[in-house]
Structure 1
């Protein structure tokens, strides 16, 4: 059956990255408004695609055929569990579908995202073709200007890993990955005619619903429903600079991973207690 003869699914919106581009706020906005959105679209976040995310992150590290085959397998399993999407659409938001965030020794860039997303798109097309449908997949990638992204990515690595380099060293090393425009062009060519839609954080963050707004446009949520949605303040905001500096100092001083993580957790817990007024 050719694609012009097949019935299309409702829009299947896959928001697959990038990290540190307002994704936490976007996902919480979708989650908190799930009940109102349910008649129009199925909202799925990272916890719904854990096996697939595990595979995409694995491929971003190992970059070998076996790891990519696992992505294909997990993508087939994911789509096999999905409904026909004849009456409502899908918003799947999980930045780890692009793989790990660059900056670690074994993850220098986002290039594995191209293969990861090609496998996910192809799996969707296979699944719906079997039921006589054309999968109306649209890939959304949220972006951010290079310098703010590099700073945010660095301090996230400081918080969650044992990174010891300075911010300036990190910027020098990772800056090529901060310009995602060439990669998005390659991705668009790799999965054409499936559209790749870049959304700049700086353009959308001032709107009441932020980056959720264009996703809701793409999936066709009507204005009368949009007017009832509850906007949320920014999530996952950066820790104060003195706390971040202490975390980096702990990374440099404590070589044992378990002991380091305990010390860092205690520091962040103390900061949270201070905010709570305890």
Structure 2
């Protein structure tokens, strides 16, 4: 049984990939103190959480619960260790996908996970950790992620006008804290820039690692740096002028390859 469970459930575009890469890079050093379950350990669960954020139907929520139960059942013995579960998709899809306007599915999803964890490990302390970011920076990052990874054709001003409520991440942290009966903590990406391990440091603070171990952990380069504006504008043009996902993806792949060769 873990002594503590830290559920890092988002939000997207707040340094979560860098956190997960830091944990993965240091997994051997952390193994004695921390058990890790990262996004690539739970593809079926993530598929269900994304689905629930889109449809909000009882059947998909049951799938989330069943798959999270399976994740718990498959854990190894970990006496006195901290279990860290980290995947931004546990809060659902990135807002802006289809008709998804915000993170309002997150409190429901996290309550369902808390209920399962507290039932299975009643003696373990449960902490929900949420990484955040300033609204303007989040909107810009989310917008260009959609331009790069989907067929987004909206201009940025229209995107910002439609999805500005989704960028109020601190408000969503407060909403989750009011609805899930466990400790909820958060840290802003902007406050992590000068930390030795960047956005991974606030999460590792929750693991009570020995100072000697903490000081020897390896940092990683920032993941998913934003492409140049000219490259992103080219991709937006592709989304607006190419019909079909296959044609769009091929054109954007060529743009990326050309940009990386410079």
User: TM-score w.r.t. structure 2 length?
Assistant: 0.96
**Inter-partner Cα distance in structure 1 for 2:255 and 2:93:** 25
Aligned counterparts, 1:1-278, within 5 A: 9-129=2-122, 134-192=123-181, 194-274=182-262
CA distance in 2, matches of 1:31, 1:39: 14
SS in 2 for 1:9: coil
Structure 2, unpaired ranges of 5+: none
Aligned counterparts of 2:94 and 2:166: Cα–Cα separation in 1: 10
Report the Cα offset of residue 212 of structure 1.
1.4
Rounded to whole Å, the distance in 2 between the matches of 1:12 and 1:83 is: 14
Q: Out of 136-145 and 81-90, give the one that drifted further.
A: 81-90
1:183 and 1:217 map into 2 onto residues whose CA distance is: 22
CA-based RMSD: 1.3
The Cα of 1:114 is off from its aligned counterpart by 0.8
What is the rounded CA distance, in whole Å, between the counterparts of 1:17 and 1:261 in structure 2?
26
For residues 55 and 136 of structure 1, what CA distance do their matches in structure 2 show? 26
Deviating runs (4+, > 3 A) in structure 1? none
User: Do the aligned partners of 1:84 and 1:128 also contact (CA within 8 Å) in 2?
Assistant: no
Cα distance between partner residues in 1 of 2:3 and 2:78: 6
TM-score (norm 1): 0.91
SS in 1 for 2:84: strand
Q: Which has the larger radius of gyration?
A: 1
Q: Distance in 2 between matches of 1:84 and 1:189?
A: 32
Tell me if structure 1 keeps the 8 A contact 2:192–2:198.
yes
Give the unaligned 5+ runs of structure 1: 1-7
